Structure 1
Amino acid sequence: MHFLENARRVVIKLGTGVLTSGSGDLNTEVVEGIAREIAALKMRGLQVVLVSSGAVGLGRGRLGLKQRPKKLSSLQKCAAVGQSLLTELWQHAFEPHGINVGQLLLTREDVRSRKRHLAIRDLFEEMLTEGIVPIVNENDTVSAAEIKFGDNDVLSALVASMTKSQLLIILSTAPGLVDMNGTGEIVPVVESITAQIEAMAGGSGTVVGTGGMITKIQAARLAMRSGCGAFIGSGSDPAIITDLFAGHATGTIFIPSRLPLGSRKRWLAWFEEPRGKLSVDAGAVKALREKGSSLLAKGVTAAEGRFARGEVVSVLGPKGDVVARGLAGFAHEDMKKILGQSSEQIQALYPTRKHVEAIHRDELVLIGR
């Protein structure tokens, strides 16, 4: 495929189930095999970012815990112990190939502010230019619910977007997207993520991981909207990366969008955490999706949360699904005053305002289908 042939920058995400057994023991053979595959890619001139899960699982194994803890502080303890083991594991695996690695531990807070977002992007750029393989993981030792990415599948897609990669490879215990509602076979190619594709996704099937096919589909959608192709395949296949670039790997390939979002709209869509919610009627949804219109207050039925003017809010359709995200044109107090009103009515209330849209179209990005 064209985007595979022209890929120069790749993000590879490895799930906990690939790196460890159910008891948290290291699978060094798999790790060394992935390192060899990445070394081969670098010999071909590709730059590679590795998003590696496994810190909590490794820490759990070292501490002798049979089950994944549910208490946040216990998970953080496992991550603190396991993260150093994970980094050491990758350093040893890449050493025979003369490849340097660098650890990057991220939380959503690190990419929320535009300034910090750009600083991290520049760090990735410098490391990759110098031939260093960044080893990325969520900073589980400090991550609480409000600053978590939620899953390393999502984190890997955000990293692919941030680094302007052409391909995201997600390796896990799953062999690809399986059509459980039809043939029972792996879906080889997905050109767009429809409701039918989403219905094929199930939950996590292991005790060591946090995600499942649902989060992988979410990651693939994010990558596709960023102009990045995605591949989901089994990490137990020692030659899967080589086979993928040779055109005959078993798994599911997701084709990148022909009209990818620009960097600012990618930041609006995925990196910044929404501060509030605007519920809108069916007419507003149609105008946003079919006409590319601004969101007018006339179509807004409710405003939730406390947000300032210029902060990111989610736009919810009549069924509660996220339709769009954007920068609020009014703070939450004012937004509640103008619900359902026409632009003329709002202009009379705020005569000095140049723009009276709830969200201007230049500050809005559509989400989902």
Structure 2
Amino acid sequence: MVPLNQAKRVVIKLGTGVLTSGIGELDTTRIEALCHQVKTLRERGIDVILVSSGAVGLGMGKLGLEQRPKDLATQQACAAVGQTILINTWQKGFDPHGLTVAQILLTREDLRAKHRHNAVFNTVERLLATGAVPIVNENDTVSATEIKFGDNDTLSALVASVTNADQLFILSNIPGLIDMQGTGEVVPYVEKMTPEIEAMAQGTNQVTSVGGMVSKLSAAKIAHRAGCGVTIGSGQDSELFNKLLAGESVGTYFAPSPAPVKSHKRWIAIQDHTYGTITIDAGAAVAIQEKGKSLLSAGVINSFGEFEEGDVIRIRTEDDKIIAHGLASLDAIDLSAIMGLQPEAIKATFPELHSSVIVHRDHLVLLD
């Protein structure tokens, strides 16, 4: 575990329940306390990026809506109204500390395209270099089903991955991962995500809490792969970061992977949309999983999808287990012609194809 006082960069995700005291009502006292904690972290030389929920709920209050609207257009309208209230409230909270906030609104599409993924990274880097506090939220005003993150837990983990954060804090009204079927206490430390750990998310009678913890564990998986530690804790604790800086154990800490995905491959690792799937034999699976080799044509059994060279594709074993993502070195048509062939056969039959590499190891990411 990397102690907080040794971290260089952290992402803090704040749930709606932490920031509001009711529909359309921001808890300004809590926001002021959070701003003070961010200032403390900054004084320790720690970069801080916030992921803030609350826009839709604030918009509902301003528009006089007591129930969350079911139609997308009204939800988007609420987000448009609420986001301005949210970001202005954050700025007021940071004004006494002389800090400037910067609003970043994202959709899934912004992280699917590599050039936009890189633009997000570069923008955050420049903002932090100028001393601003980036505040990220999903761009709910334009988000449709196919480009939504789904929840800000997932968004925060992706932001942590993109920005190379050391630690991610997911703060809500939940004090941590609770072992409801066992001790009933908060689990202080999780070294690895196991079926037993994931089952703990099913141990509550409150439907909303089940969904909440499920999404938090999913986010922890994403951050784990990027080498980022994750703390799930209570945003109601005004001394949480002071306790962590003092070395106390707070909430549930999920350890980062001891062999994280390299930074230049993280764009591949976080893709939720792929353009095709190829099935490989057992020998090829061993080569890429255990020996760090590139995927060659000889090990490919079949291919599905209409992908182009450079598209992200999934790699699966004969028993249908997805084991990797990678960038295709050739398109689906060329692959269908050479899969299963040895390099000599490819050179003799298809001289225009200069390599038997389907996915180079530098563009291949193993999945947990």
TM-score normalised by structure 1 residue count = 0.89
State which drifts further: 158-167 or 9-18. Answer: 158-167
Q: Which moved more, 1:162-171 or 1:62-71?
A: 62-71
Name which of structure 1's ranges 24-33 and 359-368 shifts more when overlaid on structure 2.
24-33
Q: Where do 1:158-173 residues align within 5 Å? A: 158-173=158-173
How far the C-alpha of 1:280 sits from its partner, in A, is 4.1
Mark the CA change 1:24 to 1:333 in structure 2 (over 3 Å): closer, same or farther. Answer: farther
- Pairing 1:54–2:47 present: no
1:70 paired to 2:79: no
SS of the residue corresponding to residue 359 of structure 2 reads coil
The 1:253/1:301 distance shift into structure 2, 3 A limit, reads same
User: Mean alpha-carbon deviation: is it higher for 289-298 or for 69-78?
Assistant: 289-298
Alpha carbons of 1:4 and 1:118: their partners in 2 closer, same or farther (altered >3 Å)? same
In structure 1, the partner of 2:150 is: 150
Partner of 1:141: 141
Quote the residue 2:326 is aligned against.
326
User: SS at the partner of 1:358?
Assistant: strand
8 Å contact from structure 1 (residues 3, 166) kept in 2: no
Q: What percentage of aligned pairs have identical amino acids?
A: 52
2:266 equivalent in structure 1: 266
Q: Does 1:126 align with 2:131?
A: no
Q: Structure 2: which 5+ residue stretches go unaligned? A: none
Q: In the alignment, is the contact (CA less than 8 A) between 2:179 and 2:203 conserved in 1?
A: no
Amino acid at match of 1:107: T
Q: Which residue of 1 aligns with 2:312?
A: 312
Q: Which residue of 2 aligns with 1:223?
A: 223
Q: Tell which deviates more after alignment, 105-114 or 273-282.
A: 273-282
Structure 1, unaligned runs of 5 or more: none
Q: How many residues were matched structurally?
A: 367
Alpha carbons of 1:70 and 1:332: their partners in 2 closer, same or farther (altered >3 Å)?
A: farther
Runs of 4 or more, structure 1, over 6 Å off, are none
For the 8 Å contact 2:310–2:327, the answer to whether it is kept is yes
In the alignment, is the contact (CA less than 8 A) between 1:17 and 1:206 conserved in 2?
A: no
Q: Which amino acid aligns with 1:26?
A: L
The SS at the match of 2:187 is coil
Distance 1:132 1:176, change over 3 A: same
Deviations 1:45-84 (A, max 9, x none): 2221111011112222322333333322222122111111
Tell me whether 1:85 sits opposite 2:88 in the alignment.
no
* Aligned AA (1:128): L
Contact 1:203–1:211, Cα closer than 8 Å, also in 2: no
Say which SS state the counterpart of residue 290 (structure 2) adopts: helix
Task: Evaluate the alpha carbon distance shift between residue 24 and residue 305 of structure 1 in structure 2; reply closer, same or farther with a 3 A threshold.
Answer: farther
Q: Read off the aligned partner of 2:261 and give its amino acid letter.
A: L
Q: Which amino acid aligns with 2:259?
A: L
Q: Is the contact made by 1:315 and 1:325 (CA closer than 8 Å) also made in structure 2?
A: yes
Contact 1:62/1:82 (<8 A) preserved: yes
Q: Which residue in 1 is equivalent to 2:180? A: 180
Q: SS in structure 2 opposite 1:196?
A: helix
In structure 2, what residue type is equivalent to 1:256?
P
**Displacement of 1:339:** 4.8
C-alpha distance in structure 2 between counterparts of 1:143 and 1:80, whole Å: 11
Following superposition, the deviation at residue 300 of structure 1 comes to: 4.0
CA–CA separation in structure 1 for the residues paired with 2:202 and 2:21: 21
Instruction: Give the aligned CA root-mean-square deviation in angstroms.
Output: 2.7
Q: Using the TM superposition, give the Cα deviation of residue 341 of structure 1 relative to its aligned residue in structure 2, in angstroms.
A: 4.8
CA contact (8 A) 2:343 2:355 kept: no
